[in-house]
Each structure stands twice: as structure tokens, then as C-alpha cells.
Chains A and B, each alone.
Chain A
Amino acid sequence: MFEQTISELSAALRAGEFSSVELTRAYLERISQLDGELNSYITVDAEGALAAAAEADRRIQAGDTSPLIGIPIAQKDIFCTDGVKTSCGSRMLDNFIAPYDATVITRMKQAGMVMLGKTNMDEFAMGSSNETSWYGPVKNPWDLERVPGGSSGGSAASVAARLAVASTGTDTGGSIRQPAALCGITGLKPTYGRVSRFGMIAFASSLDQAGTMTRSAEDAALLLQAMAGFDTADSTSAEEPVPDYSATLNDDLSGLKIGLPKEYFGEGLSSEMAKTIHAAIDEYKKMGAEVVEISLPNTHLAVPTYYVVAPAECSSNLSRFDGVRFGHRCEEPKDLEDLYKRSRGEGFGDEVKRRILMGAYALSAGYYDAYYLQAQKIRHLISDDFTRAFKEVDVIMGPTTPDSPFKLGEKASDPVSMYLSDIYTIAVNLAGLPGMSIPVEPMKGLPAGLQIIGNYFAEAKLLNVAHRYQQQTDWHRLIPEGYGA
């Protein structure tokens, strides 16, 4: 049961092999047995899950054949869920019971999915290791001394450890792809605007995008189908038609042009990672793809640019947490300024405070042109690199991360070294492009991810390219020791 994909489970549910209530109970049981050590969930909603499963069973019996009906899923704790605590990994929202559903949640409910609970994450999605969570770090199921990546670390670990069939994540600078790579699962960050941001707690609004974390590209296609599409409640939602993502999964890849950016294979990449990524690319050559070297010359500027743009937007977005309407309020404020300052000082952790301060500095009088405006101009140069590349190639491939998962605490005291671990993922967000990470051959028993970057709204192509690899290889089927059925 725990090794089955969405489409296998869906067929089993319709054939009456087991009910959604039985499936949900089995997952809840597994979470209570195994998550104590992993810490991948912040909230488990057993009651809500079983009620949703019972409703799904009624729909299945009535002949509803929606592909996601009755499938248990974990939602990142950044999505507002009506009546269920939505903490965003922060003390600031430890007491926040969301009063409405995010569009992503609404759409999954409509599709009949069963929410098991809300997953752990870096505080306000700011981090690459899950160590900034108020609820403690998530462990990597492949090695409990290592990080699962972040910020969607709980979502990645829960899927890898088979504590959920699939999960959602959000990706502002790599927060779906990097943890997917480090936990050995399939992560998809769609084009900016493809999935509604309504009800998804904002970090950096021109970069944030919700996506899928699954065991396979086939599952990702089913999940994205339910999530994607125009939403009037999100002012930057894209009015692009949504194709049938499952229909093109098996398309032939002969003649596919793959670009390998030389900047993604240079200094900083571990030699073992280079080896496993090249082996994956050789697999594509066998399928008839053509590989060419390309250049994205402004790659080295992506991290510096991001650490102006993202903190600037975060300092503005997080000003709403002021201790007045919801969230943490300090005890006995002596005046309004004291209320703001102490509520925010107590409610936010160190990394969030650092980014708010960095953003406030970059936007403050006298510094705006040198930092924010210059960063927005370089953002254009970075985006132009991709536009040029996609005139020559269909997809771009490279490593998702420079190396295998690092140890807990290894980078926690040096923010800059932590920031540099996202070097291959950040430029994709600045440009607003879709990107995926899929598991390739592990390195000394630890997962590694191949990143596949596509042109705007080319999610169907990415899923096709990922699926064909998963038809040829079994790396995505590996289960960490101790988490097998």
C-alpha cells in the first residue's frame, strides 16, 4: 500500500480493494509510529482526514472517477487551511487557526483529496535546511544526522519516508527542488503564476510559486492538473490555458535538445555529483536526445541578486505581522510601538529577522538605487540568459544542488554558506521559469537530484522528460532503510 503511486492507489480504491478510510487510517498509523523522529509534520489532522476519506468513499461508490479522489496528501504549513492551525513554521503564527482555505487547498478538496496534516518547514519559507522552523528541524529519512533541505523539508521527508502519498511545497529560491533532491523525490516548481498564490502565506511575491512533491513525474502530472489554472483571487495568476499534463508523458524524446550550462558544472560542484548527473544525461542520449553545451553567463550573480530582491519583498510582506489582528502579541505592551516591536521581536526567529532587516536596509532612503534597483536590472540580465538559451534548446539540465545533503548544524551558523547551497536553483525563480528535480543514482547511499529547467509554461514538456527517465530507471522507487513496507 505504501509503495503504490497515485494512479495505482486510485485504481485500487475504485476496484474496492480497500477504502479511502482504510488507506487514510494506515497512513495515520504510520505517521504516529515513524514521525516522532523525523518531525516532518507540525499538525496531524486525523479527525479531518477520516471525515474527508469517508466522503471520498461515498463519492467513489456513487461512481465518481476523479483520479485524486480519496488519496492522502500532506500540505505544507504555508497554505491556509480553514479551521486548521497554519503556522508557517513560526512562533508568530503558533496560535493562528486560518479562517479560510488557500485556492490550492480548495482545489484539492474539490478533487476529493484527503489532507493528513500540515508539514514542517523553515520559518516563513526562509531557509535551505529546515533548521529555522520554530517546531525544530526535520531529519532526512536517508540519514537522520542530515538535513532534508528546505524550505519544504517536511513535505519532502514525508513523501520520501512514505508518510504521505504526495505533498505540496512552495519554491521561492529552490524550496521545492532542493529538498526534493536531498530526499530523493520528484519536485516540480511550475512557471510563476501557473498555480494560485491566494492563501499561500507570502514571502517574496514576485518569486513565490506553489508546486508538487511526489514519488514520480506521473503523480506530479495528476497533482498539477488539480492545482494549476487561473484564479481571480490572485492578481498575478496567469491566464494561460492548462493542458492535459498526463496526455504527453510518454512522448518520444528523440531529437530533444538538452542544454548543459557550463556554469552549472564548474567550481563548487562536487566531483561525485558531476559524475551522477552526467550518468543521468547519458541515459537521455540513449533515448535519442541531443546534448549541447550552453552558457548562462550571469549565473554567478543570481545569489547576490536574490538576497536583495527576496529580503526587500519579505520586509514589506511581513509587515502585516504586527500583533494587532492575528498572530503573536507580546504581554502588556506599554504603547503601540512597544506592541509592534516586541510582538515581532518575540514572534520571529533569527533568520526571518535577518532578512527583514536586510530588506529594510536595501529599501531605505539613500540605498534604494544601489541595491534594489540594481538587483532588478541584473534580474533582467539573468532572465535574458535563459531567453537566449531557449532559442537553441528545449530544456536545460544540470545538478539541483552542489553536493549531497549536509549535516544538521553544519551550515546553521553561517548564513552566507547556507545561501550558496541554492546556487543552481535561484536563477530559475528570478526568471520565473518552471523547474523540476528528479532522483538520479544516489551517492554513497545519499540522494542526488537532476534539475530540468523549461521555458515558460512548458510544465508538460518537463513532466514528459522526467517521466521517460523514470521509465528507464528505478532511482525514484528507492525507499530509505527503515521506511519500507
Chain B
Amino acid sequence: MSLERSDVEKIAHLARIAIDEDKVESYAADLSKILGLVAQMDAVDTEGVVPMAHPLHMSQRLRADKVTESDNREKFQRIAPQTEAGLYLVPKVIE
């Protein structure tokens, strides 16, 4: 399995990561090598094996639907790149 330039550009868009033009080739080469390593999985017969998502086979705990957190908005927004009136600012999305 080897990845082309266009594959890397497509995945980078899906992951919302800008990749420098002159580095796309080296990402394609490295990712192809990793896929080569991962290809060892292809030969394994896993018919009937249950996928293991988690080591402890536990189920998700539930809690009462009550407010447990206090309001820390000011503290959390102090480290934000740009805020106004308690809101996070981003470039205009809707014209």
C-alpha cells in the first residue's frame, strides 16, 4: 500500500491540517512505510474474533443528572486566543 500526493492532501484536509507544499512527498513516503508495517495484519485470520475496544471490559458508569460543576467561564476564557462578552471569537462564518 503506498500513498500518493493526492491521498495525503485529501487526508490532511479531513484532519484540517495545513501541510507545507514541499513536505507532502515526504509525508506520503513516511505514511506508506507505516502502512507497510501495518500490512502485517492482513494475513491474520480474525474470523469470529470479537473486537477489543478497551482493556477492562467495563460498561460506562452513569451518574445522577445533577449540576456538579461550578462556573469557571472567566478562568477558562483567560487563556483563549480571542473572546468577547463571554464568547469565543472566530472569523465570520455566516455572511
A238 to B57, CA, bound (A): 11
Does A357 contact B90, Cβ atoms closer than 8 Å?
Answer: no
- Binary flags per residue of B18-57, CB closer than 8 Å to A gives 1, else 0: 1110010001001101101111111010100111111110
Q: Which of B7, B55, B79 contacts A192 (CB 8 A)?
A: B55
Q: Which of A192, A357, A432 contacts B27 (CB 8 A)?
A: A357
Collect the chain B residues with CB atoms within 8 Å of residue A327's CB: 81
Instruction: For the complex, give the distance between the alpha carbons of A322 and B38 in Å.
Output: 29
Residues of A close to B27: CB separation below 8 A? 353-354, 357
Residue of B nearest to A341 (CB): B18
Contacts of A235 in B (CB 8 A): 60-61
B59-89 residues with Cβ-Cβ distance < 8 A to A are 60-61, 63, 72, 75-76, 78-82, 88
Chain B facing A: main interface SS: loop
Known: A97-B79, A325-B80. A304 touches B38 (CB 8 A): yes
Q: For residue B43, which residue of chain A has the nearest CB?
A: A301
Residue A269 is within 8 A (CB to CB) of chain B in the complex: no
Partner pick for A336 among B63, B75, B90, CB 8 A cutoff: B90
The smallest beta-carbon distance between A93 and chain B, in angstroms, is 10
Q: Determine if A236 and B11 form an interchain contact, defined as CB atoms under 8 angstroms apart.
A: no
- A193 surroundings in chain B (CB, below 8 A): 55-56, 58
Partner of A371, one of B18, B37, B38, B90: B38
Are B31 and A358 in contact, CB atoms less than 8 angstroms apart? yes
Contacts A315-B15, A353-B19; A416 near B34 (Cβ below 8 A)? yes
Given contacts A99-B75, A308-B38, A378-B41, contact A356 B54 (CB under 8 A): no
Q: Across the interface, which residues of A come within 8 angstroms of B50, CB to CB?
A: 377, 380
Give the contacts of A272-317 with B (CB-CB under 8 A).
Answer: 300-301, 303-305, 307-308, 315
Quick one: closest A residue to B13, CB to CB?
A: A341
For the complex, what is the distance from the CA of A364 to the CA of B7, rounded to whole Å?
12
Closest partner residue, chain A, to B82 (CB atom): A329
Interface extent on A, as a size class? 35 or more
With beta carbons under 8 angstroms apart, the residue of A96, A348, A375, A456 that contacts B17 is A348
Q: Can you name the residue of chain B whose Cβ is closest to the Cβ of A193?
A: B56
Min CB gap A373→B, angstroms: 6
Give min CB distance, A125 to chain B, whole Å: 18
A307 and B38 contact, CB distance less than 8 A: yes
> Is A421 positioned at the interface, with any CB of B under 8 Å from its CB?
no
Q: Which B residues are CB-close (under 8 A) to A383?
A: 52, 55
Which single residue of chain A is at the shortest CB-CB distance from B77? A325
* Given A344-B16, A380-B50, A326:B34 Cβ within 8 A: no
Q: Would A236 and B54 be within 8 Å (CB), given that A358-B31, A378-B46 are in contact?
A: yes
Say whether, besides A97-B79, A324-B90, A419-B37, A337 and B16 are in contact (CB < 8 Å): yes
Q: Nearest A residue to B78 by beta-carbon distance?
A: A99
Residues of A within 8 A of B17 (CB): 341, 344-345, 348, 353, 356-357
B18: A residues at CB distance < 8 A = 341-342, 344-346
7 A-B pairs within 8 Å (CB atoms) are namely: A193-B56, A238-B56, A357-B15, A361-B31, A381-B46, A383-B52, A415-B33
Residues of chain A having any CB pair with chain B under 8 Å: 95-97, 99-100, 192-193, 206, 232, 235-236, 238, 300-301, 303-305, 307-308, 315, 319, 322-327, 329, 333-342, 344-346, 348, 350, 353-354, 356-358, 360-361, 364, 370-371, 373-381, 383, 414-416, 419, 430-433, 456
Knowing that A322-B16, A354-B34, A357-B12 touch, tell me 16 more A-B residue pairs with CB under 8 angstroms.
A235-B60, A304-B37, A304-B41, A324-B88, A329-B82, A337-B16, A338-B91, A341-B16, A341-B17, A344-B17, A345-B20, A358-B34, A364-B14, A370-B42, A371-B41, A376-B51
